[in-house]
Amino acid sequence: MEKLSISQIVDKINAEETFHAVSTDYSFTLKIDNYVHYVCGAVHDGHQFRKELWDNCLHTEYERWYEEDPETKTMVNSHPIVIAGMDSRFEYDLNRSPETAIYNDAWGKKLWKTPILENQKQKSLLKHEAFYKVVHALISKIEDKFGVCIVFDMHSYNWKRWDREVPTWNLGTDNVDNKRFGNHIEIWRESLSQIKLPNGIKSTSKINDTFRGNGYFLKYITQNFSNTLVLATEIAKIYCDEYNYIIFPEVVAAVEHQLRDRIKKNSEIFYKNFSR
């Protein structure tokens, strides 16, 4: 893996070079093993939290971890193109617009003892801006090369906080073209429902049951690229004990193993149906 500036990453994308890179500020990673018509993203995978913010933060490390999406990069890391955040959403949220990316409060609890300084805020927002420069260059290259692109936007959610039965997998589709892509979204939902999980965990899947696909990553790509479908794919945190801060590696491995074939197959169906 190389440490590269944003301009170096963009130049490599434009030249269709393959590479594994971390940004010079260590805020995100991008690997491109091959230029294919699909991308996997894990914008909430990161847990880093800038040290200068520690003393001013009212949330514990566990509280931050609880709201992040650990292991979502691991679940898709076998695929040719993977972009993933390294910083915690509590520093800045890549799935929110720049105007709302820095929280004042988080899930009903005030985040800062005192408002963060403007220079601290700008340092975070520059990382947000840099990430989206790379996203723009990447999707532009894929659409130019293949005519279409499909993005698997991986997230997780805390299922135990719900007071009703919720699905193992949820697809959020409010902000994509359902008239054009609705049948393909249903193919993806059905595929997720067939995943076999260890420890007696069932795999159910629904559309817009818990979340409706309102994230900025999806919106940014959808609004800027007319031939790209973003599948906001949320897995319930059945792969960890969300209250006791424990990851279940056998469940993570099972999800990763089965997503290898399912993501590839779904992307091939998408290309066949929409590349014309």
CATH architecture assigned to 2-274: 3-Layer(aba) Sandwich (3.40)
Nearest CA-CA partner of 127 in 153, 154, 101: 101
Rg (CA), the chain: 18
Q: pLDDT band at 276, cuts 50/70/90?
A: confident
Residue 250: partners with Cβ closer than 8 Å, 6 or more residues away: 198, 199
Listing DSSP states for 111-167 in one string gives -BSSPPPHHHHHHHHHHHHHHHHHHHHHHHHHHHHHS-EEEEEEEEE-GGG-SS---
Domain boundaries of the chain, sorted by first residue: 2-274
Q: What whole-number distance in Å separates Cα of residue 15 and Cα of residue 154?
A: 27
Q: pLDDT of 225-249, one tens digit each?
A: 999 999 999 999 999 999 999 999 9
- Express each pLDDT in 63-73 by its tens digit: 999 999 999 99
Between the CA of residue 29 and those of 4, 101, 174, what are the distances in Å?
10, 19, 28
Q: Which helix (H) or strand (E) holds 75?
A: helix 72-76
Residue 76 has pLDDT above 80, yes or no: yes
Residues 6+ apart with CB under 8 A from 112: 56, 57, 58, 104
What is the rounded distance in angstroms from the CA atom of residue 168 to the CA atom of residue 270?
Answer: 23
